[in-house]
Structure 1
Amino acid sequence: MTPPLGDIAHIGHAQLFTPDLDASVGFFTDYLGLTVNGRDGDTVYLRTFDDYEHHSLVLTARDTPGLGRLALRTSSEEALQRRVKAVEEAGGTGHWAEDEPGLGRLYVTTDPDGHEHALYWESEYYRAPEELKPALKNQPQAKPNRGVGVRRLDHVNFLAADVLANAEFQQDVLGARPTEQIRLDTGKIAARWLTYTDKSYDVVYTSDWTGSAGRLHHIAFATDTREDILRAADLAIDSGVFIETGPHKHAIQQTFFLYVYEPGGNRIELCNPLTRLVLAPDWPLVTWTEEERKKGQAWGLQTIASFHTHGTPPVA
């Protein structure tokens, strides 16, 4: 039985590996407008202006790009213990760590595909230094005066060898709700979107056409408006950022999007899903057929080939 919605409060932050740490930091600060909030050797902590925690993104130097851990904050210490128990009762394993600034203990486990998830409760609220203090006291940090100025880390899209097994881990163990999916003519589930909150989605699993496990499709940052997406495209061509596809609108979830690559090779989405919420507690899972997906995105743009082949770490 799927646990009640609410034990996972929200996505906390994501960790990306990059073979060019300095260039990746420059991309996230100069182009997206994040702020560096600490460094520990080959790891840099960054934050969006509207995040209340210490960091929204962790960049770590590695030989190949990819996703490290996805950190999820629970709604209480009791909720954390319930989810740890659920992991272990489902046959999963994990370990406790205390290795990130601003956070207490993290329970580190993996989904069936091997993507690392870290669950935690204890978290310090960010206190902006004088030069970053906002004019409005209900905002953690002043809006950036550079780059796109993204508001928050919005969602993570995993590539998976078995979409259904991983989606059921999110549902049965972590308590996510499925909102939309793609079912192929064979009956196979090729993608599923899930939420921990009243957002329409927080995590996505899509089939890895290479058959590999544990890879990343993209992480996404939310903007205030659609106009910010258009401005991001102009900033990209002016600053040499590679645009893979967009700006355009997805049919699934109706997200206005732009996909770019950061210098380390990871795909980054800029999205504006802020107007669409799933408030119904009994939301019916929306299923898209293979024939329907052949129509492309919301306004007819066909999905480009690299969207199904590019992932990190890369495979031969």
Structure 2
Amino acid sequence: MVEKIRDIAHVSAVELLTPVLDDTVRFFTDQMALEVVDRRGDSVWLHAWDDYESFTIKITGGGTSGIGRTWLRARSPEALDRRVRDIQAAGLGEEWVTSDFGYGPVFHFRDPDGHAFGIHYETRRYVPSDATRPSLKNQAARFPGRGTNVRRLDHVNFLARDLPDDFLADTLTGRASEQIVLNDGTKAAIWYTFTDKSYDMVYTRDRTGSTGRLHHIAFATDTREDILRAADVFLEAGVHIETGPHKHAIQQTFFLYVWEPGGNRIELCNAGARLLLAPDHEVITWTEAERAKGQAWGLQTIASFHTHGTPPVSP
């Protein structure tokens, strides 16, 4: 048996598009407790307090909501070379750039559904200021103590016309952890991991048949109690709470979903306790009947969870 190479270290950062730039930035600084680390033109870079890299999310203003580029860090320069070679062989490569904030050379490419990606190895680590320097040297910045105090980016859930299994497993060397398979054999969603976390990227079938859209991005909290407090933080701030707090059946994630002012869905999750330590993990498959039962404790999935994505499209 050929040993499976795992060349992606983790999801580095994500770019979120918004038609209300200042409002979205205030959401991430005031309610999510991220720090603005740079601003250039219509883009703002923000950092979650325990992210070792220089930024966690890039917010870009424009005419609509949605997802821009997602950055992946390779495990080594050699891993980067292997992934670029396979991406080019798949016909998905675009170009090398040296202008992406916080990184060395980045190879830009797209997944089969059209989502923009960048893969890199060289990175600039976050350097705290006097105001953000932590007391404990083993964290990137001091605990913010405001809003929801999210620690880091956790995962991205893309909407796609067709689920790109081969791209995720072969081109990006991820491994599937769980999936939903409908009665007709169609895969409705699939969860992939690059690490020992149970998932880092999710692809969900877009019911509109569109391409390149976003379902949600998720940020990790330390505890379930943080998510309960976050619900009160969002309530007081007038942020739209879509569903939760509750527990997913799939992946067992404790969750809360909100819509930031630009319309993008944001999840707060506590998923770190469940790790995939088995090197021969078998994919967990959920059926239509099992999903019809709702979430882990019986909460039915809200209808907008299946219909809302960004950018919005006409039904």
Query: Normalising to structure 2: TM-score of the pair?
Result: 0.98
Deviates more, 1:144-153 or 1:88-97: 88-97
Runs of 4+ in 1 over 6 A off after TM superposition: none
* Paired AA for residue 228 in structure 1: D
Q: Evaluate the alpha carbon distance shift between residue 238 and residue 182 of structure 1 in structure 2; reply closer, same or farther with a 3 A threshold.
A: same
In 1, the alpha carbon distance for the partners of 2:212 and 2:20 equals: 21
* Paired AA for residue 38 in structure 1: D
Query: Is 2:156 the counterpart of 1:156?
Result: yes
Residue 177 of structure 1 and its aligned partner are, at CA, apart by: 0.3
Match of 2:264 in 1: 266
* Paired AA for residue 101 in structure 1: F
Structure 1 unaligned runs (5+)?
none
Q: Evaluate the alpha carbon distance shift between residue 3 and residue 152 of structure 1 in structure 2; reply closer, same or farther with a 3 A threshold.
A: farther
Match of 1:79 in 2: 79
Residue 3 of structure 1 and its aligned partner are, at CA, apart by: 7.7
In 2, the alpha carbon distance for the partners of 1:146 and 1:2 equals: 49
Match of 1:218 in 2: 216
Query: Is 2:191 the counterpart of 1:193?
Result: yes
Q: Structure 1, residues 110-149: CA drift from partner, whole Å, max 9, x if none?
A: 1110011110011011110111100001111001121110
In 1, the alpha carbon distance for the partners of 2:257 and 2:72 equals: 24
Match of 1:203 in 2: 201
8 Å CA contact 2:179, 2:286 repeated in 1: yes
Give the one of 206, 209, 225 matched to 1:227: 225
Query: Is 2:293 the counterpart of 1:301?
Result: no
In 2, the alpha carbon distance for the partners of 1:228 and 1:3 equals: 40
| Residue pairs, 1:17-28, within 5 angstroms | 17-28=17-28
Residue 88 of structure 1 and its aligned partner are, at CA, apart by: 1.5
* Paired AA for residue 158 in structure 2: F
Q: Structure 1, residues 165-184: CA drift from partner, whole Å, max 9, x if none?
A: x1321111000000000000
Residue 6 of structure 1 and its aligned partner are, at CA, apart by: 2.9
Give the one of 244, 247, 260 matched to 2:245: 247
Match of 1:313 in 2: 311
Deviates more, 1:280-289 or 1:88-97: 88-97
Match of 1:107 in 2: 107
Residue 2 of structure 1 and its aligned partner are, at CA, apart by: 9.1
Q: Structure 1, residues 229-283: CA drift from partner, whole Å, max 9, x if none?
A: 0000011111101000000000000000000000011000000001100011100
8 Å CA contact 1:156, 1:203 repeated in 2: yes
CA RMSD of aligned residues (A): 1.2
In 1, the alpha carbon distance for the partners of 2:2 and 2:74 equals: 16
Matched position secondary structure for 1:132: coil
Match of 1:92 in 2: 92
Structure 2 unaligned runs (5+)?
none
Matched position secondary structure for 1:140: coil
- Aligned residue pairs, count: 314
